[in-house]
Amino acid sequence: MKRRLKGYGPGPLVAAMALGAVAALWTWTAPGDPALWPASATEPGVEVHVLDNGFHTDLAVPRASLETRPGPLAEAVRNLPSGDWILIGWGDARFYVDQSPIGDRLPDGARAFFRPGNASVIMLDPAQRDPRLLVAADRRRTLRLSVAGFEAMATHIEASLDLDHGRARIATARAGDDARFFASHEHFWIGRLCNHWSAGVLNAAGLPARPLRAITSSEVMATIERVQLDTTAPPD
């Protein structure tokens, strides 16, 4: 009588394949575009800053560079209060806008993270101060984008807006605050956080980025550090 050999079944193989897929996604880098980044030394370029508050990233963009473009993003910027720089960020339509103490907002934070399909907004906040004075030096990175890279980045941001008859629509504004929050058609949740959005904006400008790992603000800053190291490293 033959003894039946006990097999392990497909379970371990499936688990190994799943782990491999997760590892591949975790380390995958969305390629940059050498036609956009880095900016040529012979062209004027556009200086932008990425600001990190410890868990969230905003971009600081020259207002004049945005206003000279056609389209709904430029129109929205032209209607903002005065300020030579525009801080741009993205987040949950409620949690991102609310500035009450974080301890009072933990249940809403859990909702924003773990419930799929949350409404989102794009913040446009005019800043009258130089953005280099808004955060400590170790929480700021500066990029010199090509003109084409800046245009691609602005187009990407504009594509996030939820337009109403071709115009950006204000979802909310805070009392006593110049920031305006415009409706976005994208959804916020743990699989698509503010720093994922920022990484996507940088990738649109031509920089390589690791989309899945951009769950933290430190990964967004590391994206900039890597490309700056690559562009300043001496040739072999």
Q: Tell how strand 85-92 and strand 118-127 pair up.
A: antiparallel
CA of residue 146 relative to chain centroid, distance: 18
Side chain identity at 68, as an amino acid letter? Answer: T
Over the stretch 113-149, which tens digit does the pLDDT of each residue have? Answer: 999 999 999 999 999 899 999 999 999 999 999 999 9
Q: What is the pLDDT of residue 175?
A: 83
232 compared with 73, residue with greater pLDDT: 73
| Mean pLDDT of all residues in 25-33 | 80
Q: What is the pLDDT of residue 28?
A: 74
**pTM of the complete model:** 0.87
Is residue 213 within 8 Å of 191, Cβ to Cβ? no
Model confidence at 20: pLDDT above 60: no
Q: How confident is the model at residue 23 (pLDDT cuts 50, 70, 90)?
A: very low
Instruction: Report the chain's mean pLDDT, rounded to a whole number.
Output: 90
99 compared with 36, residue with greater pLDDT: 36
Over the stretch 45-98, which tens digit does the pLDDT of each residue have? Answer: 999 999 999 999 999 999 999 999 999 999 999 999 999 999 999 999 999 999
Look at residues 189, 124, 219, 120 and name the one whose alpha carbon lies nearest to residue 160: 120
Q: What is the pLDDT of residue 21?
A: 47
Q: What is the pLDDT of residue 53?
A: 94
Q: How confident is the model at residue 230 (pLDDT cuts 50, 70, 90)?
A: confident
| Mean pLDDT of all residues in 10-30 | 60
Q: What is the pLDDT of residue 218?
A: 96
Side chain identity at 180, as an amino acid letter? Answer: R
Share of the chain above pLDDT 90, in %: 79
Q: What is the pLDDT of residue 15?
A: 55
Q: What is the pLDDT of residue 174?
A: 86
88 vs 135: CA distance, rounded Å: 15
